[in-house]
Amino acid sequence: AFPQTVRLVEVGPRDGLQNEPEPINTATKLELIERLGAAGLSYIEAASFVSPKWVPQMADHREVMQGIRRREGVTYSALTPNLKGLEAALECGVEEVAVFGAASEAFSQKNINCSVAESLDRFAPVLERAREANVRVRGYVSCVLGCPYEGEIAPAKVAEVAKALYDMGCYEVSLGDTIGTGTPLKAKRMIEAVARDIPMDKLAAHFHDTYGQALANLYAVLEEGVAVIDSSVAGLGGCPYAKGASGNVASEDVVYLLDGLGIESGIDLNALAATGTWITQAIGRPNRSKASVALAAK
Ligand code: HMG
Ligand code: MG
């Protein structure tokens, strides 16, 4: 059955911007974060404490994390692949972080330079240190519906990595269709496999829209009871280690879908759409949210 309310995790400032080739001002990132909070997003992934050599666009992670004008009721999180990243994030007052693994060996090597098993060994001390600091940790699994290097990924492999993250202490596991190749029945089967080991209310759907399937895939997993959705304003983004992958599903389109289904999200669609119009103009990108484009033309 459909959930009554859905929590959106806005990943635009991180997933949406990490792949932009031209530098984006820290001030622009901060204004984006501010506007997203004003539109009602209660969870914003703001930065990524990764190597600036690997992802130059996220090199200003400290300035971003420290520059946020924090709003009551909004969680501002950051990616932290290892202890070095976590320590830096803690120094900047982060209240929640995320580790990111993959269901594909080849993708794990390309993205974080280690095997899946090694990545789990690196995450364990991150979770331990975060627990000491009273910081919650979210876990990502990439390539849950396909890998740019290995192709098909078995749902059992996704379930195995998701369970490892959950057992390690991740309070929620976000399932990433990194390259957006999934289709609804595959998405449904993958969620069913993962939900055998992890309660449905601890799972999130993180779908990229490369093949235009993200909303259909979300509909399929909403029906299964998934109640946390990752999305990116204006559909910004792509992963630097997944060539050709396009942005996340657009937050505006997800809110329009949820509104139509009578599912509560607490988000002001008009304010969100205006934010999408603003950021795409600011960075010179097309607006990939159909709802936003339609609302702007009204
Ligand atoms: P490595 O080279 O194996 O690490 O990289 P290392 O420990 O050997 O360190 C190498 C260098 O990186 C050293 O610097 C370290 O200090 C530095 P050097 O001595 O060469 O000057 N370093 C760091 N600098 C800043 N912050 C850190 C950090 N750690 C080491 N935390 C590492 C391993 C994970 C660091 C690297 O592979 C990396 O940064 N990868 C980033 C990958 C990434 O950000 N990908 C995009 C995000 S994932 C994604 O988009 C998918 C998702 O959206 C879900 C989905 O869609 O599926 C989440
Ligand atoms: Mg992603």
**Closest CA to ligand 1's atom 20:** 53
pLDDT value at residue 239: 67
pLDDT value at residue 243: 74
pLDDT tens series, the chain, 298 aa: 999 999 999 999 999 999 999 999 999 999 999 999 999 999 999 999 999 999 999 999 999 999 999 999 999 999 999 999 999 999 999 999 999 999 999 999 999 999 999 999 999 999 999 999 999 999 999 999 999 999 999 999 999 999 999 999 999 999 999 999 999 999 999 999 999 999 999 999 999 999 999 999 999 999 999 999 999 999 999 666 767 778 999 999 999 999 999 999 999 999 999 999 999 999 999 999 999 999 988 8
Distance CA 176, CA 60 (A): 25
53-62 long-range contacts, Cβ below 8 Å, gap at least 24? Answer: 54/240, 55/18, 55/240, 56/23, 57/17, 57/18, 57/19, 57/20, 57/23, 57/24, 58/14, 58/17, 58/18, 60/26, 60/29, 61/88, 61/89, 61/92, 62/88, 62/91, 62/92
pLDDT value at residue 246: 86
pLDDT value at residue 245: 73
Ligand 1 center–CA 159 separation, angstroms = 24
- Sign of CA pseudo-dihedral 49, 51, 55, 56: positive
Task: Say if residue 132 is exposed, middle or buried (CB neighbours under 10 Å; 0-12, 13-18, 19+).
Answer: exposed
**CB-proximal residues (5 Å) to ion ligand 2:** 15
- What pairs with residue 138 in β-bridges? 98, 172
pLDDT value at residue 55: 95
The closest alpha carbon to 214, from 169, 172, 245, 192, belongs to 245
Distance CA 103, CA 244 (A): 19
**Closest CA to ligand 1's atom 24:** 51
Pocket lining: 62 vs ligand 1, CB cutoff 6 Å: no
Q: What six digits make up the tokens of 104?
A: 């594909």
Distance CA 97, CA 116 (A): 19
- Other Cβ atoms less than 10 A from the Cβ of 52: the count is 12
Distance CA 159, CA 112 (A): 20
Pocket lining: 113 vs ligand 1, CB cutoff 6 Å: yes
pLDDT value at residue 298: 87
**Closest CA to ligand 1's atom 33:** 112
Pocket lining: 48 vs ligand 1, CB cutoff 6 Å: yes
Ligand 1 center–CA 257 separation, angstroms = 35
The closest alpha carbon to 205, from 185, 193, 222, 189, belongs to 222
pLDDT value at residue 221: 98
Ligand 2 center–CA 228 separation, angstroms = 14
| Angle made by CA atoms 199, 85, 172, in degrees to the nearest 5 | 5
Pocket test for ligand 1, best of 51, 153, 208 (most atoms within 8 A of CB): 51
Q: Which of 92, 143, 170, 239 is catalytic?
A: 239
Per the CB < 8 A criterion, the answer to whether 169 and 201 are in contact is no
pLDDT value at residue 27: 98
**Closest CA to ligand 1's atom 53:** 15
Residue 222 CA: distances (Å) to CA of 136, 251, 254, 263? 24, 15, 11, 10
- Would residue 114 show up in a list of annotated catalytic residues for this protein? no
The closest alpha carbon to 284, from 239, 231, 234, belongs to 234
- According to DSSP, residue 173 is labeled E
**Nearest ligand 1 atom, CA 144:** 57
**Nearest ligand 1 atom, CA 111:** 42
- Other Cβ atoms less than 10 A from the Cβ of 25: the count is 11
Pocket lining: 84 vs ligand 1, CB cutoff 6 Å: yes
